[in-house]
Structure 1
Amino acid sequence: MSVVDVLMIDDVAWVTVNNPPVNATSTGMRQGLLDAVAQVQGARLAILKCAGRTFIAGGDMSEFDAPPQAPHLPDVVNAIENSATPFVAIMHGSVLGGGLEVAMACAYRIAAPGTRFGLPEVNVGLVPGAGGTQRAPRLFGWNAAIDMACFGKLLSAKAALALGAINAIESDLEDAARSLTLAPPTPVSQRPVAPLDGDWFLDKRTTLMNRAKGQAAPLHNLDALHWATRPFAEGQPKERALHLSLRTSDESRALRHAFFAERAVAQPSDVSGATPKEIEDIAIVGGGLMGAGIAAACLAAGYRVAIIERDDDAARAAKGRVQSLIAGALKRGTVDQATHDAQIAAFKASAGYDTARGADLAIEAVFEDVEVKKAAFAELAKVMAKDAILATNTSYLDPRDIFEGIDNPARCVGLHFFSPAHIMKLLEVVKLPQTSKDTLATAFSLAKRMRKNAVLSGICDGFIGNRMLAAYRRAAEYMLADGATPKQIDDAMRASGMAMGPFEAQDMGGLQIAEANRRRQDATRPASERYVTISDQLCALGRTGQRAGKGWYAYTGGDRAPKVDPAVTDLITKFSTDHGITRQPYGLDNIQAQLLAVLANEGARIVEEGIADNDAAVDMVKLHGYGFPRWRGGPMFAAKTAGDDAIRVALSALEAQSPGSWVRATRFQ
């Protein structure tokens, strides 16, 4: 079967697209559609359908780095709309990007139940390029058009039908299309646009600017949508020109890098050819905030879950935490009542390790202490099958120490969840020397079922993410000692697109966590490495963050908004004075450049040491676990965009301020 086939049956032309896996609008597919328009002339109807699991679900992004090849999608779309034989789009699965542009050009649109519609080009730093922003306001209305193009939201078939954007929802698409006897409607491109209120549009722009956090594509899409107030013949060429110009932007390249990197790191070579173990029953040791979050994530993925606690009171508390998380999902509308009830029924919490008997997988989520964790696995090994998988959720400790003495070490693995575990999408899968490929494959299968982004990591202090975080925090605290303030650094990193700055983040998580790690590292810290004690002093004063009402910032009246505290400013300047440091001003660009250099350098060292497979793995950890802006691609991609020379200059500045405190990666020497 060719990419596009045309079959004439009586007076109906059947046009079938077969371009797996998602029927993307590749050059060959575009040519096939354009040829099909010519072939169907004279038929009463041309019914456009797609083979496989979906309708046309977007463009072929592998073509975006090359010059556009004819036929161009706008020409194909316009040919469909202007065809003397009216086209009927019968749609299933996802109708996205170029697929929705094609569907909007058809005279009629019929969808299967569950079909979804969207213009997700914003997610890869682009605007639609074939009239999407010009037709969508005319067909879906302003609200839905902005939701799709600017926010990347998907609309259900029911929502599209209610807006009049599709003609019907039918289970038998082919019969419904074949039976159409309606007169062809006015082409979408020629329909009027609803009047646009200027203040309403300005409010939308303000909302977008606040949510975009420096990303440009949402605002570009809003501008393109506004061009729909002009005649289509004016707006569509402007949209196309903008689309083509954005293909070469740093933002779009970064977002496309993230798109492909996610898929690459989900299939590391270490699991190639392996067979994942079937997992249905999971035991979790520890029902605190982390354990409860892991349990909720597992339940949401359809597993049966049992939490093991030290006594009945602790088990009841753990049960309450998990049930509260499930109830919260019901309240937010992310699950329905039947799903809520099924998850409750699949969960139990009790005291004693007998609960783990028969479990396929056990995940330890107890206190971050080697001996406590070892004791948990010793008990689990007594009651679980010899081939049951054992996973530690340690954030920093060496899993080899935790699993010491366990039979069949091939089944042992690290599963480092991020808090809150039922929300955060990152899962670091930590490989031990004896971990089998099948065990790793099981971990990646588990992550996929939980809709998490798994990244393979080797063993080092903090693995990939927390090791980089430690270097990042250390550099930020050096800046404090040398002249910056917490707010200056946090503001600079927010301006770079980070979800929050390093000191806001510490306050949210608790300063005592980093302090505990520093105490653990005291014995092995290089003598030449500079050590700034300001954070230790805050902890000694009970300033451990938001929960204490004070940390790097002050939090008053239950307000979580950080407020600059003069007491902290005084403590910082006193540290500088006591150590003979003449404080120097730090500009926004300087802060951003140096902290990016620290992340890129540490990431490069992690790759060179074999802890991470490649730069993409490092980027995915920082995107999904640490709030690095997706539109910058991750620290390794951002450093590549800045250029190695810029990273070297920033590293030299860091080394001049703190001699003997940094080890350069080979690539930046």
Structure 2
Amino acid sequence: MVDSVVSQKTVSNVSVVSMANAPVNALSKALRVGLIDAVNKAISDTEIEAIVITSDLPLFSAGADISEFSGGDLSPMLPEVLALIENSPKPIVAAVNGGAFGGGLELALACHYRVTTEKNKVGLPEVHLGILPGAGGTQRLPRLVPAATALQMIVSGAPTPVKVLNDMFIKITTPESLLDAAVDVAQQAIGEVIPATSKIEIAMTEQLATVFAQTEAHTAAKARGFFAPAKCIDAVKAAFELPFNEGLKREGELFMQCMNTPQARAQQHFFFAERAAASIPSIAKDTKARDIQQVAIIGAGTMGGGIAMNFANAGIPVRMLELEQAALDKGLAVIRKNYENSAKKGKLTQEQVEQRMSLLQGTTEYSDLSEADLVIEAVFEKMSVKKQVFEALDKVCKDGAILATNTSTLDVDEIAACTSRPQDVIGLHFFSPANVMKLLEIVRGEKTADDVIKTSMKLAKTIRKVGVLVGVCFGFVGNRMIEVYGRESGRLVLEGATPERIDKIIYDFGLPMGPFTMGDMAGLDIGYFVRQSRKAFIEHDPSYCTVADELVEAGRVGLKVGKGVYLYEQGSRTPIPDPSVIEIAQRRAKELGIEQRQISDQEILERCIYPLINEGFEILKEGIAQRASDIDVIYVYGYGFPVHRGGPMQYAEEIGLQEIADKMQHYHDSLGEYGKHWFKPSDLLVELAQSKQALATYKK
């Protein structure tokens, strides 16, 4: 044993060095030290003629330990380990038994030979952390695979099947034969010329220059707002334009350029935020989750069908209920069509389509749900309708069944109170389209049992969702904050900004679409019905979404009818600005005594985004969200907030909490009665801005 995370054994004349730094063989300082010690020991041992490096864990290595990015004594750095391996006088073979990602793949690339298993995948995902491979990956990979492949792997960060990387691996075998194959390769290499990757000569050609130009153009369009992708291309280009050692130096320079950016800080924050969301400190670790073998869905419409597909995709039987057979048949037909479309695109086989459809059964009788372990209601967003459903479920569902509501705004406690088992009731708020969107807001009611929460969080992973626990309030976290954003964009139109200008500013900020395009796509009637149910909350402000209300009342509810804030040609989703909407805004502004004026781009951005952030602080203060980073996860996965900004709360920290507080106060003071009501800075925002306390350290 060389180190607690590195072991060494001898097979004939080969030293087999095995990594075991659970859970994913992160290349932490301990592992780096252990590898250096093991390799040096093998080199100095006259009985050893070759070396194999492998893993005792299912993964070869997931790469760097990014918790070390914050500093400390990092010596020896990974490039030092890799230089030792590549310059070894004895052949070294990487037996890549599982996924090799980031520094893990760079470790394999530095070895003289690589052996792996048939279904394995490898990758360089550093771009997702706002950086680029910094231990020679951008210089070694292009020397082993075609330039286009290297660019695709490094710029996208996506895992790549080893079967398309034959040039990189000397042998691809079965898991059972891997170690024997690696030892065999090592023994055959004894006495042969050791092939160091760094010695392979490559150069830029006219044809390669075209490949780089095409990649640059494609990346610029796809990766707007991100810093690292373009630098990844520059680093790979250096492999073809500079000698190896100079290329390494250039890679290091570009790595540091990436590291010192808001994008890198945001993307690394989000990496940890997503993992933190799964942690619920208030629930004992030994709490046992309930067994979910069968699921029922109430409602076979767009949302219910999408939810059902998640469970069928995971192999869980689903029974869907509609009271009318025609609605049920239509819902099941839409699901089949969705699966058939996936099959046409090559994403599913026809056998998989039939397998998933076989897991879906329909019924028009509540009594058929008696054996369901989990029932999810996905009916019309109206409290009286929800209560009718839960009263019916309470009568037919077995003891211990979890009763979940997919409500996006309503009071889960009020829904739970109409049952005899409020401890079994929880909110599972899926986002549309439910079979695509990764976010699942898990809404804890006042009486929701801990094991129901734990089951729901576990189930989110099973159906490949990112579950985030939230508390009960209007709109929970996501929709409560988006309400503020929608209100302010509507007010800006009354004050003289056009919808298309606001949408462009928000798009340029990094969201996939602006508030008016989003409203048209979702349906303006959805927000209208919510506002109708909250008249007491907004009656003091006659300007509140007044243009949107007028459009809905005129039947202009959005894309689905070809007109909303924008006009749409038949079969097109491209919004066309409509001057009549501006006329409505001008007329309503005049009636309300609102002066129209020229508004700067910066004011539009601040007034859309800063109140949203301010609401996040209110949510945090009230304990609706467990932590600030949970809000970021919800906004990135649920609303398309740009991950290169890390989410609204991380963005607030990046630009400064005092800046947010000051601007909120500025609009509070400068926008008359409207500002006084809607722009009061959150007490928590002001408190943390003044104390300079990091959001990550705040606990209610």
Q: Please, what TM-score do these two structures have when normalized by structure 1?
A: 0.96
Does structure 2 conserve the Cα–Cα contact (< 8 Å) formed by 1:481 and 1:532?
no
Q: List per-residue Cα deviations over 1:56-99 (Å, max 9, x = no partner).
A: 11100001011562211112112211111111111122100001
> Counterpart in 2 of 1:661?
677
> Counterpart in 2 of 1:120?
125
Partner residue of 2:85 out of 60, 80, 98: 80
Does structure 2 conserve the Cα–Cα contact (< 8 Å) formed by 1:315 and 1:349?
yes
1:173 aligned onto 2:178: yes
Aligned partner of 2:290: which letter?
A: K
> Counterpart in 2 of 1:34?
36
SS in 2 for 1:455: strand
Aligned partner of 2:481: which letter?
A: M
> Counterpart in 1 of 2:160?
155
Separation in 1 of the partners of 2:382 and 2:607? Answer: 34
Separation in 2 of the partners of 1:538 and 1:70? Answer: 64
Separation in 2 of the partners of 1:528 and 1:580? Answer: 12
TM alignment of 1:128-139, pairs within 5 A: 128-139=133-144
Separation in 2 of the partners of 1:68 and 1:149? Answer: 28
Displacement of 1:653: 3.7
Separation in 2 of the partners of 1:542 and 1:74? Answer: 64
* Alpha-carbon distance change, 579 to 501 in structure 1, aligned in 2, over 3 angstroms: same
Aligned partner of 2:25: which letter?
A: N
Does structure 1 conserve the Cα–Cα contact (< 8 Å) formed by 2:226 and 2:263?
yes
Partner residue of 1:531 out of 537, 544, 555: 544
> Counterpart in 2 of 1:17?
19
Partner residue of 1:217 out of 195, 207, 228: 228
TM alignment of 1:349-498, pairs within 5 A: 349-498=362-511
> Counterpart in 1 of 2:695?
none
Displacement of 1:396: 0.9
Aligned partner of 1:167: which letter?
A: K
Aligned partner of 1:208: which letter?
A: T
Q: List per-residue Cα deviations over 1:514-533 (Å, max 9, x = no partner).
A: 11111111123362685241
> Counterpart in 2 of 1:239?
251
Separation in 2 of the partners of 1:131 and 1:592? Answer: 40
Separation in 2 of the partners of 1:312 and 1:575? Answer: 45
Displacement of 1:323: 1.7
Aligned partner of 1:207: which letter?
A: H
1:188 aligned onto 2:197: yes
Q: List per-residue Cα deviations over 1:188-241 (Å, max 9, x = no partner).
A: 222133645333322211111111121111111111111111211111111112
> Counterpart in 2 of 1:566?
579
Unpaired runs of 5+ residues, structure 2, are 687-700
> Counterpart in 2 of 1:277?
290
Separation in 1 of the partners of 2:677 and 2:424? Answer: 38
Separation in 2 of the partners of 1:526 and 1:433? Answer: 29
Does structure 1 conserve the Cα–Cα contact (< 8 Å) formed by 2:82 and 2:110?
yes
Give the stretch that moved more between structures: 121-130 or 649-658.
649-658
Aligned partner of 2:558: which letter?
A: G
Does structure 2 conserve the Cα–Cα contact (< 8 Å) formed by 1:600 and 1:639?
yes
Separation in 2 of the partners of 1:526 and 1:60? Answer: 53
Aligned partner of 1:263: which letter?
A: R
Displacement of 1:575: 2.8
SS in 1 for 2:376: strand
1:287 aligned onto 2:300: yes
Q: List per-residue Cα deviations over 1:15-69 (Å, max 9, x = no partner).
A: 1111111111111211222222222225322000111121011100001011562
> Counterpart in 1 of 2:689?
none
1:205 aligned onto 2:216: yes
Q: Name the Cα RMSD after superposition.
A: 1.8
Does structure 2 conserve the Cα–Cα contact (< 8 Å) formed by 1:117 and 1:154?
yes
Separation in 2 of the partners of 1:32 and 1:202? Answer: 42
1:265 aligned onto 2:277: yes
Does structure 1 conserve the Cα–Cα contact (< 8 Å) formed by 2:394 and 2:421?
no
Separation in 1 of the partners of 2:631 and 2:567? Answer: 33
> Counterpart in 2 of 1:544?
557
Separation in 2 of the partners of 1:406 and 1:576? Answer: 47
1:48 aligned onto 2:50: no
Does structure 2 conserve the Cα–Cα contact (< 8 Å) formed by 1:530 and 1:660?
no
> Counterpart in 1 of 2:697?
none
Separation in 1 of the partners of 2:147 and 2:77? Answer: 27
Displacement of 1:383: 2.0
Aligned partner of 2:200: which letter?
A: R
Give the stretch that moved more between structures: 487-496 or 95-104.
487-496
Separation in 2 of the partners of 1:164 and 1:516? Answer: 58
Displacement of 1:354: 2.4
Does structure 2 conserve the Cα–Cα contact (< 8 Å) formed by 1:605 and 1:664?
no
Does structure 2 conserve the Cα–Cα contact (< 8 Å) formed by 1:395 and 1:462?
yes
> Counterpart in 1 of 2:315?
302
Give the stretch that moved more between structures: 481-490 or 333-342.
333-342
Does structure 2 conserve the Cα–Cα contact (< 8 Å) formed by 1:481 and 1:581?
yes
> Counterpart in 2 of 1:248?
260
TM alignment of 1:588-599, pairs within 5 A: 588-599=601-612
SS in 1 for 2:624: coil
Q: List per-residue Cα deviations over 1:149-188 (Å, max 9, x = no partner).
A: 1111111121222x44453233311111121214455322
Does structure 2 conserve the Cα–Cα contact (< 8 Å) formed by 1:530 and 1:661?
no
Q: Please, what TM-score do these two structures have when normalized by structure 2?
A: 0.92
Separation in 2 of the partners of 1:402 and 1:5? Answer: 57
Separation in 1 of the partners of 2:444 and 2:418? Answer: 17
Unpaired runs of 5+ residues, structure 1, are none
Separation in 2 of the partners of 1:127 and 1:259? Answer: 15
Displacement of 1:352: 1.2
Does structure 1 conserve the Cα–Cα contact (< 8 Å) formed by 2:148 and 2:211?
no
SS in 2 for 1:5: strand
Separation in 2 of the partners of 1:668 and 1:359? Answer: 45
Separation in 2 of the partners of 1:537 and 1:406? Answer: 38
Displacement of 1:134: 1.0
Separation in 1 of the partners of 2:74 and 2:168? Answer: 34
Separation in 2 of the partners of 1:166 and 1:474? Answer: 61
Separation in 1 of the partners of 2:316 and 2:435? Answer: 14
Displacement of 1:424: 0.5
Separation in 2 of the partners of 1:136 and 1:558? Answer: 45
Does structure 2 conserve the Cα–Cα contact (< 8 Å) formed by 1:95 and 1:117?
yes
Aligned partner of 1:668: which letter?
A: L
Separation in 1 of the partners of 2:421 and 2:194? Answer: 69
1:315 aligned onto 2:319: no
Does structure 1 conserve the Cα–Cα contact (< 8 Å) formed by 2:426 and 2:442?
yes
> Counterpart in 1 of 2:102?
97
Aligned partner of 1:390: which letter?
A: L
> Counterpart in 2 of 1:110?
115
SS in 2 for 1:661: helix
Q: How many residues align?
A: 668
Percent identity over the alignment is: 36
SS in 2 for 1:581: coil
Separation in 2 of the partners of 1:594 and 1:75? Answer: 50
Displacement of 1:592: 2.2
